[in-house]
Amino acid sequence: MSKTESKKRTPFVHIVKRDPASLTWYHKLLVRGVAIVAALLVCGVLITLLTGKNPIEVYGSMIDGVFGSSRRVWNMLQGVAMLLCVSLAVTPAFKMKFWNIGAEGQVLISGLACVATMMFLGDKMPLWLLLTVMTVVSILSGMIWALLPAVFKAYWNTNETLFTLMMNYVATQLVAYFLKVFVKDGSGVLSPMDQYGLPVIGGQAYLLNIILVALITVVVYIYLKYSKQGYEISVVGESENTARYIGINVKKVIIRTMLVSGAICGIAGLLLVGGTNHTISTTTVGGRGFTAIMVSWLAKFNPLYMILTSALVIFLEKGAQQVSTDFRISSSISDIVTGIILLFIIGCEFFLQYRVVIRKNRKENA
């Protein structure tokens, strides 16, 4: 390497970690706001280039798709509630650094248990008893689906990510099998058993779900922050060695936490099947088990922030659907828009933690 040319070889950009205390809340808000505006601009350009539509109209249709009518608002709230419920379910496990990506299966299997209860016991007992049995059975099956990987992790240190992922497929196939065998007409589509659904309150089909999920949010928040068990979860998640040092039984905490996680998944399954759909298909959960992971992470595992992050995800999803119908453009365009906006929102976290320094004149730099 020649030494004469080396003088100018200061790296053009380098990245410097920020001091976490140096950012005030309005800075953070500003960075995130800029990210959203930038995302909307980029999407706008893209929409114009690819489809020739006016981006402002597209955004207008997005908002219309979410807030346009009271039915749409209820739909949105229901969407937020269900996604939030699954996100709350994965959060205790994630806080423990147990990468439970099996919420999809845990919700689905409890939905299956719920639907089976409705189908086989529906006409054999009074409604109040049926609803109780549905609740118990749903929660128990969610717990069992979560317990298996937890036990294997605790005692044989198996990889929970793979294990929970595989359990998803088992659940999906069980549902497919169930529909094949027990749907008499052979269509594989089970018609809704509306007569056995959870009670409708206030004349709104989704109100019960929304209230219950709001309640669970508060409970999970308190559980994680103020209970001894929540404290143990944090310690195990941060450092198993510390947990050992203070005599926490790590196996027990892993299993207990996954049971909690599975139980909330069970409630999600109950609400989806018993509360809303009154039937089941292999796509009843619709990827919420995976989206929930993102919601939980984006909120940094804080249940209260999760209300915001799940609302954001649902807003994008519902808005994008509306855009596809209004403009008769392929739904892939709306997926692209959703993807870009999320990328910007997640990407701006980088700028909250690091500063990018661009090469300057040496004198200025000093």
Q: Please choose, from the candidates 288, 290, 278, 269, the residue with its C-alpha nearest in 3D space to the C-alpha of residue 142.
A: 269
Q: Which stretch binds another protein (CB under 8 A): 6-14, 112-120, 140-148, 258-266?
A: 6-14
Number of residues forming the site for another protein (CB under 8 A):
36
Handedness of CA 343, 348, 354, 360 (dihedral sign): positive
Q: Decide: is 157 part of the binding site for another protein (CB under 8 A).
A: no
Site for another protein in 22-51 (CB under 8 A): 22
Q: Which is nearer to another protein, 70 or 361 (CB)?
A: 361
Give min distance, CB of 124 to another protein, in A. Answer: 37
Among 69, 132, 242, 330, binds another protein (CB under 8 A): 242
* 3-class secondary-structure state, position 101: coil
Give min distance, CB of 212 to another protein, in A. Answer: 21
Among 231, 304, 330, 350, binds another protein (CB under 8 A): 231
Q: Decide: is 13 part of the binding site for another protein (CB under 8 A).
A: no
Handedness of CA 151, 157, 158, 160 (dihedral sign): positive
* 3-class secondary-structure state, position 203: coil
Identify whether the C-beta of residue 101 lies closer than 8 Å to the C-beta of residue 289. Answer: yes
Q: Decide: is 218 part of the binding site for another protein (CB under 8 A).
A: no
* 3-class secondary-structure state, position 199: coil
Give min distance, CB of 1 to another protein, in A. Answer: 5
Among 48, 69, 215, 238, binds another protein (CB under 8 A): 238
Identify whether the C-beta of residue 216 lies closer than 8 Å to the C-beta of residue 307. Answer: no
* 3-class secondary-structure state, position 21: helix
- Token digits of residue 204: 């709104």
Gap between the Cα atoms of 13 and 11, Å rounded: 6
Q: Decide: is 18 part of the binding site for another protein (CB under 8 A).
A: yes
Identify whether the C-beta of residue 13 lies closer than 8 Å to the C-beta of residue 358. Answer: yes
Q: Decide: is 20 part of the binding site for another protein (CB under 8 A).
A: yes
Q: Decide: is 83 part of the binding site for another protein (CB under 8 A).
A: no
The overall longest dimension of the chain from CA atoms, in Å, is: 91
Q: Which stretch binds another protein (CB under 8 A): 10-18, 102-110, 143-151, 326-334?
A: 10-18
Give min distance, CB of 27 to another protein, in A. Answer: 14
Q: Which stretch binds another protein (CB under 8 A): 192-200, 210-218, 240-248, 280-288?
A: 240-248
Gap between the Cα atoms of 249 and 232, Å rounded: 9
Residue written as tokens 């292999």? 282
Gap between the Cα atoms of 288 and 265, Å rounded: 11
Rg for the chain (alpha carbons), in Å? 24
Q: Which is nearer to another protein, 13 or 181 (CB)?
A: 13
Q: Please choose, from the candidates 297, 327, 331, the residue with its C-alpha nearest in 3D space to the C-alpha of residue 312.
A: 297
Q: Which residues pair with 357 in a beta bridge?
A: 14
Q: Decide: is 17 part of the binding site for another protein (CB under 8 A).
A: yes
Give min distance, CB of 3 to another protein, in A. Answer: 6
Q: Decide: is 366 part of the binding site for another protein (CB under 8 A).
A: yes
Among 48, 227, 283, 331, binds another protein (CB under 8 A): 227
Q: Decide: is 12 part of the binding site for another protein (CB under 8 A).
A: no
Q: Decide: is 361 part of the binding site for another protein (CB under 8 A).
A: no
Q: Which residues lie near another protein (CB under 8 A)?
A: 1, 3, 6-11, 14, 16-22, 226-231, 234-235, 238-239, 241-242, 244-247, 357, 362, 365-366
